[in-house]
Chains A and B, each alone.
Chain A
Amino acid sequence: MTTKIDGVQLFKNIAQHAELFRPIEKDIITSASALVGKFLKQKNLDVEALRSLRAAITADVLLLTIDGLNERDVRTLTKKVDKHYPDLTEASASTLRAHLSDLASSAKDIHAKPEKAGSPKKSTNAGKGKSAKKLKDEAAASWPTSMEATPGRRRK
């Protein structure tokens, strides 16, 4: 007697009877997306796994999933699959997304370990909350200065 659900077989069966599940299509999208997201959050994910995932779920679905990750998750994922990415804390999220896409499509390869490793860096605040300075900068940036800007014609 079955005492345990075979998840993979269950997904196959659901896929084979897609029409039956049409009324809960939204839930299927949510569940399937969550699985892909979870796959990307595995601790030991590497670039080969990322490439295999792309091949399995198609490039567009992988890109949509990466588009849906927040900035912190994008940095974590980049660090996982490309440990020696040189610009991890400074690069914008969109640069990292593009890099992940290039890695997944094999358009780029991961960075090699720098030959002369300097003294180990002190841990930064990246990914662990924002520094006081950054928070201050963001608070200043949140005031809409454009609403106070005076057109050139009116300054004359």
Chain B
Amino acid sequence: MAGKVLSVVNMKGGVGKTSTVIALAETLATDPACSVLVIDVDTQANASYCIAGDSALTEIIKSDKTIDDFFYWRLVENDRRSIEPYINENISLVTHLNRPLKISLLASSPYLRITEREIIYNLTTRNLSMEAIEGRTVNLLTPMMDQLRQSYDYIIFDCAPGISAFTTAAMMISDHIVVPTIPDFLSTLGVAAFTASILKEIRQKRPELSANVLIARKNNTRHHAQYHNIIIDKAKLSSGTFGVFDTVIPESTAMAQAMNLIDGTYTQKYSKLSDVLSNLAAEIRGLK
């Protein structure tokens, strides 16, 4: 097994990154042969909450089994601990055809932001630049990811809005980048800025990295149709810098409600969106 690593990224908040991560992880895991690891590097810890549920996440945070604790010990204290004990195996409470979805979680906590600041303060006082800190994070994660690829079919990073050192590192070690966006004016500004700056810079170091925009929360207005076309046209002119998924996630209260359902069945969560999500999962499976 050599799992695929995906980062779900956008500098702009509120475009559906976490919903995409959860829905994609759960849809891929409806295949009984498929195991998924979600790595939450968003300080809001929403993906962690939606996958583990409140009480399990409380225990994870209290017992220091979060990614911020891992980063602290490895990057600040130079401890040699491995990543495996931080992974909460098969933690999903969602079932499909009487079988729990095989989703494991490396959780985040609201303290991730503070930890990131501590790491930056600490390492900059040792005269390390931001680039060096990102490099160190990449060097830390790369061999671990090679190992995790052997255990999971998909490893999905839920990245924070804005671009943090951890988000950059996640993108650097990914095979594919998924950029969810709403096809409206402000969100398109965000995609334009992201593809012209961060993505361009990362692709200079990793030219083989693929990036695809996922149109999410699209409604039936002309405004959304126009911006959807603008994004497609721009992708065609981008000489392969980024593409656009054919699948479009429609604006729907069903998705918001699905995020609310931490346990229950996949069918209950996504009955109205199952076709769309299965198309998206097929596109993800087809990424090379």
Contact = CB atoms under 8 A, between A and B. Distances in A.
Contacts of B275: 26
A47 interface: no
Contact of A94 (B68, B95, B110, B271): B95
Given A71-B264, A145-B58, 16 more contacts: A60-B97, A63-B98, A67-B265, A67-B268, A68-B265, A68-B267, A93-B264, A97-B95, A97-B265, A144-B54, A146-B45, A146-B60, A147-B45, A149-B109, A150-B62, A151-B62
A146 B264 CA distance: 20
B268 A70 contact: yes
Interface in A1-50: 26
26 contacts: A64-B267, A67-B95, A67-B97, A68-B265, A70-B268, A97-B98, A97-B265, A98-B98, A144-B49, A145-B55, A146-B45, A146-B48, A146-B49, A146-B58, A146-B61, A147-B49, A149-B58, A149-B62, A150-B111, A151-B61, A151-B68, A151-B111, A152-B63, A152-B64, A153-B72, A154-B111
In the complex, which of the residues B69, B98, B109 has the most CB atoms of chain A within 10 Å of its own CB atom? Answer: B98
Contact of B54 (A63, A141, A152): A141
Interface string A43-80: 00000000000000000100110011011000000000
B66 A151 contact: yes
Interface of A is mostly: helix
Interface in A95-133: 97-98, 101
B53 to A, nearest CB: 8
A64 B98 contact: no
A144 B98 CA distance: 28
Contacts of A71: 264
